[in-house]
């Protein structure tokens, strides 16, 4: 089980760093949305501070996951982002929900594996 946690932590971290940096540099091809309303909404996010803030948090969380430091903290930082990614795709772009489900499920799984660290909060 520890190997699975390690593999998922590294995969999630690499994915977050890659897509987080892309929000600043834009080296990946533009994403095609099945629904034009999704493109309009995403464009509005991209034209404000919101997408850059999400990108910065993704890079920080991804880096923490990759170097295995403050992992429980990083996973909690990622939780609202992963929920919003799911909600965006469920409501506006269900055809492209695959990566969102991956991020959400891996984040949830890793949180469950570090649950002892969160017990003092509850």
**Confidence (pLDDT) at 2:** 94
43: number of Cβ within 10 Å: 12
Share of the chain above pLDDT 90, in %: 91
pLDDT on residue 114: 96
CA-to-CA distance for 103 and 85, rounded, in angstroms?
9
Q: How far is CA 99 from CA 16, 48, 93, 94, in A?
A: 11, 24, 12, 11
Question: What are the residue ranges spanned by the domains of the chain?
Answer: 2-121
The overall average pLDDT reported for the chain is 95
30: DSSP letter: P
- Split at pLDDT 50, 70, 90, the class of 1 is confident
Burial 65-97 (b: 16+ CB within 10 A, else e): bbeeeebbebbbebeebbeebbebbeebbeebe
Question: Of 61, 73, 66, 81, nearest to 11 (Cα)?
Answer: 66
């Amino acid at each position: 089980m520890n190997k699975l946690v390690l593999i998922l932590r590294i995969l999630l971290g690499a994915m977050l760093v890659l897509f987080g940096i892309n929000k600043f540099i834009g080296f990946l091809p533009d994403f095609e949305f099945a629904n034009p309303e999704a493109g309009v909404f995403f464009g509005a996010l991209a034209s404000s501070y919101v997408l850059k803030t999400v990108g910065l948090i993704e890079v920080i969380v991804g880096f923490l996951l990759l170097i295995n430091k403050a992992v429980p903290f990083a996973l909690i930082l990622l939780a609202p982002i992963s929920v919003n990614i799911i909600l965006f795709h469920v409501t506006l772009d269900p055809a492209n929900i695959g990566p969102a489900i991956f991020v959400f499920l891996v984040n949830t799984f890793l949180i469950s594996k570090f649950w002892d660290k969160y017990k003092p909060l509850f």
